Amino acid sequence: MQQVVSFPGLGLEFHLSNIAFHIASKPIYWYGILIMCGVILAVVYASRRCSAFGIKQDDMYDCVLFAVPLGIVCARIYYVIFEWEQYKNDLSEVFAIWHGGLAIYGGILVRFWVDGAISLTAKHMAVRRRRRGAWSSAKHWRKPAQPAIIRHFFMSRHGTW
């Protein structure tokens, strides 16, 4: 599929394909490349910032290994829920993520759910053990993650054309 990007005042017009290249017979789309570049940018940023908040890089990488696949799955679930008419007759297409269909809002929602679950769990542990350390460390996880997520959105949204 060709897209046209034009700048009429400058007399410029570009014809762009949404497929970057092929590996064997499988197309690799710009959207997927830019999403992964956004993930990499967010991970690099967060790994450099996590030490400022007392978080070990290994712990941050463990969190990324959990959060990225969960975000993709929830983005797909959100898309399928709101496009149910497209999937209700062929449920095998629900799992065909390579045919397209991710909604960024699903990834955002899961981020807030996981953040809330971590905060509630840490608060519960702090109250049970009469320690404030667990609760304050849970709040510190948000600080390097929020700007990293914004960088990911900035990078990945360019692929939606």
* Residue-level pLDDT at 153: 64
Predicted pLDDT of residue 151: 66
113 near 120, Cβ under 8 Å? no
Phi-psi region of 56 (alpha: psi -120 to 50; beta: other; left: phi over 0): beta
pLDDT at res. 126: 53
**Which tokens is 136 given?**
């304050």
- Find the distance separating the first CA and the last CA of the chain, reported in whole Å: 11
pTM above 0.85, yes or no: no
Q: Residues in the chain with pLDDT < 50? A: 132, 134-135
Question: Kindly report the CA angle at 100 between 95 and 106, in degrees rounded to 5?
Answer: 75
Ranges assigned E (strand) in the chain: 2-7, 12-17, 19-23, 26-29
